[in-house]
Amino acid sequence: MALVNEHFLKLPGSYLFSDIAKKVNTFKITHPKQDIIRLGIGDVTRPLPKACTEAMHQAVEEMTSAETFRGYGPEQGYDFLIEAIIKNDYTPRGIHLSPTEVFINDGAKSDTGNIGDILRHDNSVGVTDPIYPVYIDSNVMCGRAGVLDTESGKWSNVTYMPCSSENQFIPAIPEKRIDIVYLCYPNNPTGTTLTKAELKKWVDYALANDTLILFDAAYEAYIQEPDIPHSIYEIKGAKKCAIEFRSFSKTAGFTGMRCGYTIVPKELTAATLEGERIPLNRLWNRRQCTKFNGTSYITQRAAEAIYTPEGKEQIQETINYYMTNARIMKEGLESTGLKVYGGVNAPYLWVKTPNGASSWRFFDQMLYEANVVGTPGVGFGPSGEGYIRLTAFGERNDCIEAMRRIKNWL
């Protein structure tokens, strides 16, 4: 008899965005004539940059000829993309990486979920709260998160570091030692950031406590202010304590293409029970070679084109479009008297619900009375209660119309 992984049974009945989809579908059935504006799930709406599609067409043509056809590629990614990443994303910031420290993937979500494969199941975990659900759920699946307290919404083996308006969304450094800490900046869902000085505190903590930082920098391209680090490796010593995840999904509209990368420095190690230090780069490479067949050649050629002069210009136009949406939305929401956070260095707006309304209650009210869909903050963790997340990835006219509806409603 085959036995199931019973840790999966500890997970909530459905993923956050599945619950939202069910509520929206119910509304559509009962209100078929109402036009819904979706500002909830962070999918993009702008088309792929022309430089990327042209590179894809060229790669497809190569596949039609025996002389240029590509079969299985390297699990770690093609050198042409890895070299472009190092040259453009890291070298200009004074960060020196070896090509073997860069691993191309099919998006940051996969690797942030899978990185736990190379770490013991009984490591303690720390997360900023609220947080991207994948970090928690992937630890639940392997048993690392412990047991859920249904009353508090917290897992027994997870340390929650609240981020709210009371602490300017800056998580406090833990008073105890934690094995693994997840940081995401610019932050999803709050849209807030850490300065270099604040991030240095985390690196110092990790070095002092032999803590591994899993740093999600998927939204770094949206940073507008000068004192906000784009990479954790801008902080001295971070290569000894941090893995960094990045994605082309929101940077270049690759949500349907699927491509990103993970940095695992060679000097980063973790311990066995006997105290032997093991390079995590070696373990991750072994994991990838076993479980991952690599991102397609055509997709990687499209990603490489991001770094051409034309690609950079086109991507900046897209980022400017979304950040203009964020400004329009932030100004519109604030004009109604709502408290709004984020939206300056990230395309997410974290909105405080008025009059003490719960996240789900405000979600329902906004759906039924303004026909606008957001994401309930409590779905991202206990500290998200009383907030709702809106994204700036929509069409410009939809963002403007959504603000008009919300103003009229409130």
Residues tagged in the binding site annotation for substrate? 15, 42, 109, 132, 188, 293, 389
Helix or strand holding residue 360 (H, E): helix 359-365
Residue numbers in the known binding site for pyridoxal 5'-phosphate are 72, 108-109, 132, 188, 219, 247-249, 258, 293
Cβ(392)–Cβ(399) under 8 Å?
yes
Tokens representing 38? 């979706």
Give backbone dihedrals phi and psi of 390, rounded to 5 degrees, phi first: -120, 145
d(CA 269, CA 279): 4
Q: What residue type is 48 in one-letter code?
A: L
Q: What is the three-class DSSP state of 318?
A: helix
Q: What is the dihedral of CA 107, 113, 118, 122, to 10 degrees?
A: 170
The owner of tokens 């400004």 is 327
Query: Rounded to 10 degrees, what is the CA torsion of 27, 30, 36, 39?
Result: 0
Q: Which residues are annotated as a binding site?
A: 15, 42, 72, 108-109, 132, 188, 219, 247-249, 258, 293, 389
- Helix, strand or coil for residue 265? coil
CA angle 240, 244, 245 (to 5 degrees): 165
Strand partners of residue 149: 154
